Amino acid sequence: MDVKVELRWVRTPRQDRSWKTLERILDATEALLIARGLDSVSVAEIARRADSSVGAIYARFRDKNGLLHCLHERFCEEAMATANAALDPVRWEKASAREILSALIAFLIEIYQGRGGLFRAFLLCGCTDPHFQQRARGLREHFLAKLKALLLARQPEMGHPDPALAITFGMEMVMGMLRNRFVLGEGLPEVGQKQRTGLAEELIRAYGAYLGLSAADGMQQFNGRSRREASG
């Protein structure tokens, strides 16, 4: 079976004018953090990129840290909505556990590579701010609960004696690798399509082996798609 499910980041819509102005400010902050990093971004630069003013930003936020809190709140809200959509059981009704992991890991690599600077800023703030830590913990628990529900429905495919534990531990292993490569690995060579494909294959192989999935289940189909994507 070769089940293809397209996964996308979910942006929650805002309607009124004040929200649209705030969204521009948050979008500008996110783009600058991704490109430049936390210490190199000033409020004046954010205002210019958002087509706003420093005064308008300080009217909403006491300082840059308050702006980062709002950005992190938005990120966590969107990430939870993305998890709800990406891990909806209806989308995966005919998929095996390995097919789910294949699509999910490729999607996570895309997110981490595209937002490494943003995650780095959140990580730095989270080291000392309990509010960042609490939101991040809530997001992690929400994501893992959705993933567990989806994969435990396929428990007969797993050979691990404690599948629920293995799902959590294996995903922490995946997230740790992505964090090391794309968040903490600043200055490392850029990862192209071929390298992303290789990283995805190895993470799927490692996670699948730990869960006790059949090595042949779904891997040939993933490898075939990966080669086509890399060559394209």
Indicate the SS3 state at residue 205. Answer: helix
Q: How far is CA 100 from the centre of its chain?
A: 15
Structure tokens that stand for 3 in this block: 């089940």
pLDDT digits (tens, 9 = 90+) for 127-170: 999 999 999 999 999 999 999 999 999 999 999 999 999 999 99
Domains of the chain by range and CATH? 13-60 (1.10.10.60), 68-231 (1.10.357)
- What local confidence, expressed as pLDDT, does residue 27 receive? 95
pLDDT digits (tens, 9 = 90+) for 3-20: 667 888 887 666 666 788
Identify which of 105, 91, 110, 86 has the alpha carbon closest to the alpha carbon of residue 205: 105
* pTM for this predicted structure: 0.85
- What local confidence, expressed as pLDDT, does residue 219 receive? 46
What is the number of other CB atoms lying within 10 angstroms of the CB of residue 19?
A: 11
Percent of the chain with pLDDT over 90: 71
Structure tokens that stand for 146 in this block: 């959705």
- What local confidence, expressed as pLDDT, does residue 3 receive? 61
Rounded (10°) angle between helices 116-126 and 64-86: 120
